[in-house]
Structure 1
Amino acid sequence: MIEILQSAPHVAAFHFTGTLSGEDYDACVAEIEARLSSHPRIAVFTDLTGMTGMSAEAMGKDVRYGISKFGEYSRFARAAVVTERHWLAKVSAFIGKLVPNIDLRTFEPDQRGEAMLWVEQPLAPG
C-alpha cells in the first residue's frame, strides 16, 4: 500500500506498507512526475517501515521506470530512505553509490523527522 505524504513542493514523499502493487507503483510514479513537471530538480522521501515486498508487476514497472529515467538522474538531487531493515539500508546505500548524482541517505524509523527535514532542504540548481 502507498500513502503519499505531505511535503515541500520539491519533494515526492511516500510511506509504503505491506506489499506494493502495480497500482501503488503507478500512483508513486504519477506523484514523482507531477513534482518533476513543476521543478527542475526534486528530492524523494521514502518510508519503507512496514513494507513487506513488491508484486511482480510493481517490480517490472520499477525496472522500466528506472531505465526510462536513465538520462534524467541529475533531476533527482537527494533521496531519504527510512527503514528498520538493516539489509535494505545496505542495499539502498549501494544503489546510491551507483547513481552518483543523487545524495542518498538511509535513516532508522526513529529518525523519520530528521530524514524529512534533510530531504526538504532547498536544492541547488542542477
Structure 2
Amino acid sequence: MLELIDSPDDVIALTVSGKITGADLSIVMDRLDEVMAAHQKVHVFVESRSLDGIELSGLPNYMARAVPLFGKLNRFGRVAVVADQSWVRAGAKLESFVLPNISYRTYMPSERDDALAWVVRSSN
C-alpha cells in the first residue's frame, strides 16, 4: 500500500506498507515525472512500515520507466528513508553507497519528523 504525503512541489514524500503493487510503483513514477518536469532537483522522503515485498508482475513496467533515470541521477538531492525493518535501512545504505552523489540518510521510526524536516528544508 502506498500513501502520498503532502509536501513541497519538489519533494516526493510517501509512506509504503505491506505489499508494494505495480499500481503503487506507477503512482510513484507518475509523481516523479511531474516533479522532474517542474524542478531541477527532486528530494525524496520514504517511510516504510512492515514491508512484505513487491508484486513481481509490476516490475517490468517499473524498470522500463526507472532505467532512464540513471542518466538523471544528478537531479536527485536529499533522500531520507525511515524504516521499521533493518533490512530496508540496510538496503537504503547500500543504495547510497552505489549512488554516492545523492545525499542519503536513514532513520528509525522515532526520528520520522527529523527525516521529513531534513528532506523538506530549503527544498525550493
Please, what TM-score do these two structures have when normalized by structure 1?
Answer: 0.90
1:87 and 2:87 correspond: yes
| Structure 1 residue aligned with 2:37 | 37
| Structure 2 residue aligned with 1:47 | 47
Q: Secondary structure at the match of 1:30?
A: helix
Q: Secondary structure at the match of 1:40?
A: coil
CA displacement 1:32-76 (0-9 Å, x = unmatched): 111111111110111111322110023334433331111101101
Q: Secondary structure at the match of 1:71?
A: helix
Tell me the amino acid that sits aligned with residue 12 of structure 2: A
Structure 1 moving runs of 4+ over 2 Å: 57-66
| Structure 2 residue aligned with 1:66 | 66
1:104 and 2:109 correspond: no
Q: Secondary structure at the match of 1:48?
A: strand
Structure 2 gaps of 5+ residues are none
Q: Which moved more, 1:93-102 or 1:49-58?
A: 49-58
**Greater strand share, structure number:** 2
| Structure 2 residue aligned with 1:117 | 117
CA displacement 1:54-107 (0-9 Å, x = unmatched): 100233344333311111011011111110111221111011111122111111
Structure 1 gaps of 5+ residues are none
Aligned residues: CA RMSD:
1.6
Please, what TM-score do these two structures have when normalized by structure 2?
Answer: 0.91
Cα distance in structure 1, aligned partners of 2:79 and 2:58: 20
